[in-house]
Amino acid sequence: QKEVEQNSGPLSVPEGAIASLNCTYSDRGSQSFFWYRQYSGKSPELIMFIYSNGDKEDGRFTAQLNKASQYVSLLIRDSQPSDSATYLCAVGGSYNTDKLIFGTGTRLQVFP
């Protein structure tokens, strides 16, 4: 069983729509959760992090965390073609490690 799972996609949404990206994780002790955006040929770029249950909003991005369901999601409102990229979910484990476990990513395509 993979430790962090994401649908590989592609997830195709029209410009202006809400894109919803989902991630599940297996370690119930996980304390920190991150979303990275990776454009083709580029390195991952941190866009959101969340530590507490609930929602965290930053501009057009909202991260949602539900520790009971071991589920974290990223919503992108008013999607733009420039949002087309692969989105990586990363999960931090227990208190005694700094390592993150990365999912394999979901490819998002926003079409005009």
Partner 1 sequence: GAGVSQSPSNKVTEKGKDVELRCDPISGHTALYWYRQSLGQGLEFLIYFQGNSAPDKSGLPSDRFSAERTGGSVSTLTIQRTQQEDSAVYLCASSTTGHLGSYEQYFGPGTRLTVT
Q: How far is CA 7 from CA 4, 52, 73, in A?
A: 10, 23, 12
Q: Confirm or reject binding of residue 90 to partner 1 (CB under 8 A).
A: yes
Question: Residue 68: which region, alpha, beta or left (left: phi > 0; alpha: psi -120 to 50)?
Answer: alpha
**Nearest distance in Å: CB 112, partner 1:** 25
Window 18-37: residues binding partner 1 (CB under 8 A) = 31-32, 34, 36
Among the candidate windows 16-24, 38-46, 54-62, 68-76, which touches partner 1 by CB under 8 A? 38-46
Instruction: Report the distance separating Cα 35 and Cα 89, nearest Å.
Output: 5
End-to-end Cα distance, the chain: 37
Q: Confirm or reject binding of residue 58 to partner 1 (CB under 8 A).
A: no
Q: Pick from 12, 26, 66, 97: which binds partner 1 (CB under 8 A)?
A: 97
Helix, strand or coil for residue 82?
Answer: helix
Helix (H) or strand (E) holding 64: strand 61-66
Q: Pick from 13, 23, 44, 84: which binds partner 1 (CB under 8 A)?
A: 44
Contact positions vs partner 1 (CB under 8 A): 31-32, 34, 36, 42-46, 49, 51, 88, 90, 92-100, 102-105
